[in-house]
Amino acid sequence: MKALLVDNINDIAVEILNNSGIETVVLPPQSEEKLFEIIGEFDAILLRNLTYVTEKVINNAARLKIIGRVGSGLDNIDLEAAEKAKIRVVNSPDGNTIATAEQTLALMLALTRKIPMACASAFAGKWEREKFMGNDLYGKTIGIIGFGRIGSRVAKLCEAFGMNVLVYARRKITDYPSFDRLEDILPLCDWISLHLPKTPDTTGMINAKTIKLMKKGVKIVNCARGALVNELDVVQALESGIISGIATDVFEVEPDISKSPLLKFPDKVVAVAHLGASTIEAQINVAKDVAQKVSDFLDENKSY
């Protein structure tokens, strides 16, 4: 059995696979073309979010039995093609929950207290206290859009900061006031935090139409998927003042974010390059979890 690891997965995954007698090859993120060329050698592939396993790749994966997504999202894997090819897909939905929830609060604090802007000013040798007047989180109302593992954790952290928590979810929530229609929750929020996967229903859900429903001066934080936000519409709202700021861990187009219109607003935007799960603890947790799942599956399907 032979496994390919890409996207800078923690070394613990190699250790687990090797201890199970699985040969491992570790490579940097792969383009579709390169992955297409080499995938035929492997029984398993483990990846994070930079390499895409497309239908084209899957159709050339004669030996591939399992795809392991080292993290929670699956949007860089063609699930329909994998199912058709009878390839198992596993991930680690729990391993990065704490890291991503804490990243959400970190970005909120950075935006509301203008920390990146003030830091750049200080490093330039300037003393500009009046320029970087911020706002408290305490007493503000936040709408948690999506109430899964991460969203529910963010709600508890926000509550600890003295924020009023509202929830948008399709299922009934008893812990906080909840809404099953986006148009009902948006007008009530000082902050909006996104915690939904990328699907046809959620893609572009923050757009010109939904922005019109928001309270003037609202702030948005996105540690979910960049596709949830129409960046051009958000830019127009930043210019008009409907949105006073956005803190984002993700972009519509990754990893080449150089053309994102959000980056034209360094005074209103706090942005980092998809670091939500980038803690040592989270990467060890998800690597161990997925590597063990892959190892167990290959062991059970040796004759497959």
Catalytic residue among 15, 41, 102, 254: 254
Do both 91 and 104 map to the same domain?
no
Do both 161 and 230 map to the same domain?
yes
- Sheet (strand 66-69) strand order: 23-26, 2-5, 44-47, 66-69, 88-90
Segment 96-115 shows an average pLDDT of 96
Instruction: Say whether 41 sits in a helix, a strand or coil.
Output: helix
Do both 188 and 76 map to the same domain?
no
195 is annotated as an active-site residue: no
Distance CA(286)–CA(268), nearest Å, equals 33
Residue 24 pLDDT class (50, 70, 90 cuts)? very high
pLDDT in tens, 164-187: 999 999 888 999 999 999 999 999
Do both 10 and 132 map to the same domain?
no
Residue 302 has pLDDT above 90, yes or no: no
Residue 255 pLDDT class (50, 70, 90 cuts)? confident
Segment 245-266 shows an average pLDDT of 95
The whole-chain average pLDDT of the chain stands at 95
pLDDT of residue 304: 47
170 is annotated as an active-site residue: no
> Among residues 17, 10, 52, 14, which one has the least CA distance to residue 35?
52
Distance CA(220)–CA(245), nearest Å, equals 7
Do both 127 and 41 map to the same domain?
no
Distance CA(130)–CA(133), nearest Å, equals 6
pLDDT of residue 303: 53
Residue 73 pLDDT class (50, 70, 90 cuts)? confident
pLDDT of residue 166: 98
Neighbours of 86 (CB within 10 A): 9
Say how many domains are in the chain: 2
Do both 233 and 105 map to the same domain?
yes
Backbone angles phi, psi at 53, to 5 degrees: -100, 95
Look at 73 and 156; give whichever has higher pLDDT. 156
Please compute Rg for the chain using Cα positions. Answer: 21
- Those residues whose C-beta lies under 8 Å from the C-beta of residue 186, and which sit 6 or more positions away, are 143, 192, 210, 213, 214, 215
Do both 40 and 89 map to the same domain?
yes
Residue 156 pLDDT class (50, 70, 90 cuts)? very high
Segment 188-195 shows an average pLDDT of 98
274 is annotated as an active-site residue: yes
Do both 213 and 267 map to the same domain?
yes
Do both 127 and 259 map to the same domain?
yes
Segment 126-130 shows an average pLDDT of 94
CATH of the domain at 66: 3.40.50.720
Do both 86 and 123 map to the same domain?
no
Tell me which residue range forms the domain holding 104.
Answer: 97-271
Segment 24-42 shows an average pLDDT of 95
Do both 263 and 154 map to the same domain?
yes
Segment 78-95 shows an average pLDDT of 93
Catalytic residue among 48, 69, 153, 225: 225
Do both 205 and 238 map to the same domain?
yes
Residue 200 has pLDDT above 70, yes or no: yes
Segment 49-60 shows an average pLDDT of 94
